[in-house]
């Protein structure tokens, strides 16, 4: 796998935390993936020199595990370093203590793989009271980018297409009523994709009639291409589930995307156009695959 070197150095705290997490995952032979908003920052700002959107106060990692016992071993190994503390009320959350900052830094660790059921759900033992979806994580791992964070440190980072999948599922699960951060992150991906190494592809991949329908708007063309690339890495069941979520909650998602757009003039129309371009790109790639 080719190693990608960012054009802008990754934050020192991020590198420090990744180094600790990576050491434990390697020692236990577990595949590790950097996901979440910090991945978005690395992909957009550090690699492509773009505005990454909202700042984030945490960092998320996903582990492809064989069992819950293996995941608990990961968690206990991190705590045993003396640099991570567990939070009893939030089972996937640790707090990292660093000399770089006065307060602890939130680190979420998410298991997927052999611990998920046929519906791609995980239920945290022993009470099974915390349930969450890990749909898209396997595809995200398989399509990840290997990014150099330091001269002796590289980690798999979810691609922008993989991150879009995860954000759609996360929004559907937790953000449709109270939170808007997943919709805001999705908006950032939709609007930035044309500049994230795709300035030529937005003209080369869509059919001429699609370009005409989007009035050759680079952001709409980028959103279309993001949908196309999402479908290229996702399996059919993920595509169908994701499409169903978007269709059933489309109005709510459009409103939340529009709320994140600067200004109010035409925000709803533009949000709808972005989402429509994305879904058309998914449909075109799905038809091509089948």
Rounded to 10 deg, the angle between the 267-289 and 218-233 helix axes is 40
CA distances from 111 to 71, 130, 170, 182 (A): 7, 13, 15, 20
pLDDT at res. 28: 97
Same domain, 113 and 210: no
DSSP H or E stretch at residue 84: strand 84-86
Contact 200, 256 (CB under 8 A): no
pLDDT at res. 290: 75
CA distance 277 to 224: 5
pLDDT at res. 259: 87
Same domain, 131 and 14: yes
Same domain, 178 and 148: no
DSSP H or E stretch at residue 32: strand 31-35
Q: Residue 108: which domain range?
A: 3-158
- Residue 42 is part of a domain; what is its CATH number? 3.30.460.10
pLDDT at res. 189: 97
Same domain, 117 and 189: no
- Percentage of residues in the chain having pLDDT higher than 90: 80
pLDDT at res. 177: 56
Same domain, 97 and 178: no
Residue where a domain stops, chosen among 127, 158, 189 = 158
Domain count, the chain: 2
pLDDT at res. 284: 95
pLDDT at res. 56: 80
pLDDT at res. 73: 97
Same domain, 148 and 16: yes
CA distances from 274 to 134, 137, 210, 258, 281 (A): 25, 24, 13, 10, 11
Same domain, 110 and 253: no
Same domain, 26 and 140: yes
DSSP H or E stretch at residue 183: helix 181-192
Residue where a domain stops, chosen among 109, 136, 158 = 158
Same domain, 221 and 119: no
Same domain, 15 and 138: yes
pLDDT at res. 238: 95
Nearest Cα neighbor of 171 from 248, 105, 227, 112 is 248
pLDDT at res. 157: 98
Residue 41: count other Cβ atoms within 10 Å of its Cβ: 20
pLDDT at res. 100: 82
pLDDT at res. 176: 56
State the maximum Cα–Cα separation within the chain, in Å, rounded to a whole number: 58
Same domain, 52 and 137: yes
pLDDT at res. 140: 97
Please give the angle made by the CA atoms of 192, 190 and 132, to the nearest 5 degrees: 120
Same domain, 11 and 114: yes
93-96, strands of its sheet edge to edge? 3-4, 145-150, 153-157, 31-35, 58-65, 105-113, 93-96, 84-86
Rounded to 10 deg, the angle between the 267-289 and 250-259 helix axes is 130
CA distances from 285 to 137, 138, 153, 160 (A): 20, 19, 35, 16
**Residues of the chain where predicted confidence (pLDDT) is lower than 70:** 175-179, 264
DSSP H or E stretch at residue 275: helix 267-289
Strand 105-113 with 58-65, pairing: parallel
3-state percent helix, strand, coil for the chain, nearest multiple of 5: 50, 15, 30
pLDDT at res. 1: 82
Residue where a domain stops, chosen among 158, 192, 224 = 158
> DSSP 3-state assignment of 67?
coil
pLDDT at res. 4: 97
CA distance 110 to 64: 9
pLDDT at res. 289: 80
Q: Tell me the two tokens of residue 204.
A: 């080369």
Q: How many helices (H) and strands (E) does the chain have?
A: 12, 10
CA distance 253 to 272: 9
Condensed to tens digits (0 to 9), the pLDDT of residues 128-170 reads 888 889 999 999 999 999 999 999 999 999 999 999 999 999 9
């Amino acid at each position: 796998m080719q190693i990608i070197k960012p054009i802008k150095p990754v934050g020192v705290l991020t590198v420090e935390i990744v180094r600790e997490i990576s050491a434990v995952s390697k020692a236990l032979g577990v595949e590790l993936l950097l996901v979440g908003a910090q991945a978005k920052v690395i992909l957009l700002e550090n690699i492509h020199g773009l505005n990454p959107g909202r700042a984030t106060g945490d960092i998320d990692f996903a582990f492809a595990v064989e069992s819950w016992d293996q995941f608990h071993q990961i968690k206990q190994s991190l705590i045993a370093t003396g640099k991570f503390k567990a939070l009893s009320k939030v089972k996937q959350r640790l707090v990292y203590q660093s000399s770089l900052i006065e307060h602890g830094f939130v680190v979420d660790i998410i298991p997927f793989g052999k611990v998920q059921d046929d519906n791609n759900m995980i239920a945290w033992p022993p009470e099974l009271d915390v349930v969450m979806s890990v749909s898209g994580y396997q595809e995200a791992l398989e399509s990840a980018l290997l990014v150099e964070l330091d001269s002796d440190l590289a980690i798999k980072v979810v691609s922008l297409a993989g991150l879009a999948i995860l954000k759609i599922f996360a929004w559907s699960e937790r953000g449709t009523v109270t939170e808007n951060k997943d919709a805001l992150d999705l908006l950032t991906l939709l609007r930035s994709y044309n500049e994230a190494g795709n300035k030529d592809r937005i003209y080369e991949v869509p059919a001429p009639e699609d370009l005409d329908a989007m009035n050759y708007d680079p952001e709409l063309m980028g959103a279309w291409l993001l949908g196309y690339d999402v479908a290229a890495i996702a399996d059919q069941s993920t595509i169908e589930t994701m499409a169903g979520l978007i269709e059933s909650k489309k109005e709510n998602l459009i409103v939340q995307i529009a709320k994140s757009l600067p200004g109010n003039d035409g925000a709803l129309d533009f949000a709808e156009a972005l989402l429509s371009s994305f879904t058309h790109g998914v449909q075109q790639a799905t038809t091509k695959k089948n």
